Amino acid sequence: MLSLENISVGYDATDVLHGVSISARPGELTVILGANGSGKTTLFKTISGLLRTRSGTIEYNGQTIQRTRANAIVKRGIAQCPEGRHLFGKMSVEKNLRLGTYPHRNRIRTEEILHEVHDLFPILKEKAAHPAGSLSGGQQQMVAIGRALMSDPSLLILDEPSMGLAPLVVDQVLESIAQINRNGIGVLLSEQNAKASLSIAHRGYVLAEGRVVLADDADKLLDNPQVQAAYLGL
C-alpha cells in the first residue's frame, strides 16, 4: 500500500503540488488523470525520490520513504517508467533490460522476468541486440516498461506511457499495462486518455493545478459528469 498524506512539492519559490493525498492499494491499478501542468510528473518524481517533499508524508508498506533516495526506493519495490523514458540509448535493448535487474541481481529471477517481458512484448526479443535509441517510440516505451519490470517491483509507476504514440500503439501499450496488473503487480498510471485508462483501472484521481479535485472508483469516475465534461468530451 502506497499512501501520500498531504504532500506539498515545489521548485524554487513556488509549490507545484499543494497538500495532495492519494493512495494506491496493493495489486490495484490506480490512475491519475490531469491536464498538462497539473502536477502528475512532479507527483511521480516525488514518489520515486527524484524530488523532495516540502511537507507531508509518503509511506510504502508502512515505511516512510519521503527522505529515501531514488536508487533505494527501487529496492523497496517501487519502479518507475518515467516520462521521456530515460533509456540508455546506446546500449542494446537486452542490456537495458538486464540493467533493470540491478536492485536484486538474482540470476534465476532475472531469467524468469525476462521471459515474462518477452511474452508481454515479443518485439523486444527480436530487437534484443539493437541499440535502444534506434527503436520506434512505441518500442522504446516497451523497453522502458520492461526495464522497470525487471526490478521485480510490487508497484509499477507509469508516467504517461502513451504520450506521443500512434493511436494503435496506445491501445497495445494500455493492454499490456492491464496484463501486467492482472499478473499481480500494482500499477500507478498517469494519463490524459481518461476513457481508455479508467476502463482498465480500479481507482482514479483527478489532479488539477496541483490539487486532487476528484477521487473515486474508476467506474464511478467514468460516469461522473465532471469527468465526462472535462475529459471524455460528452
Partner 1 sequence: MTLFTQQLFNGVALGGVYCLAAIGLTLVFGVLRIPNLAHGALYMLGAYVTYFFLTTVGVPYVAAIGIAALILFVLGVLLERLVFHPLRNAPHTHHMIAAIGAMFFFQSVAQAIWGADFRRMETPISGSLHILDAEISAQRIVIIVTAVVVLALLTWFIKRSIHGQTIEAIEQDRTGAALVGINPAMVSMLTVGLSALLVTIAAGLVAPINLLSPTMGDSLNLKVFAIIILGGLGSLPGAIVGSFALAIAETMTATYISSAVGEAVAFVVLVAVLAIRPTGLFAKAVQR
Residues of the shown chain interacting with partner 1 in the complex, contacts defined by CB under 8 A: 48-50, 69-72, 74-75, 79-80, 82, 85-91, 95, 98-103, 105, 147-148, 150-151
- Work out how close the CB of 154 gets to partner 1 at its nearest, in angstroms, rounded to a whole number: 14
Nearer to partner 1 by C-beta: 73 or 222?
A: 73
Q: What is the DSSP string of the chain?
A: -EEEEEEEEEETTEEEEEEEEEEE-TT-EEEEE--TTSSHHHHHHHHTTSS--SEEEEEETTEE-TTS-HHHHHHTTEEEE-TT----TTSBHHHHHHHTTTTT--HHHHHHHHHHHHHH-HHHHHTTTSBGGGS-HHHHHHHHHHHHHHT--SEEEEE-TTTT--HHHHHHHHHHHHHHHHTT-EEEEEES-HHHHHHH-SEEEEEETTEEEEEEEHHHHHH-HHHIIIII--
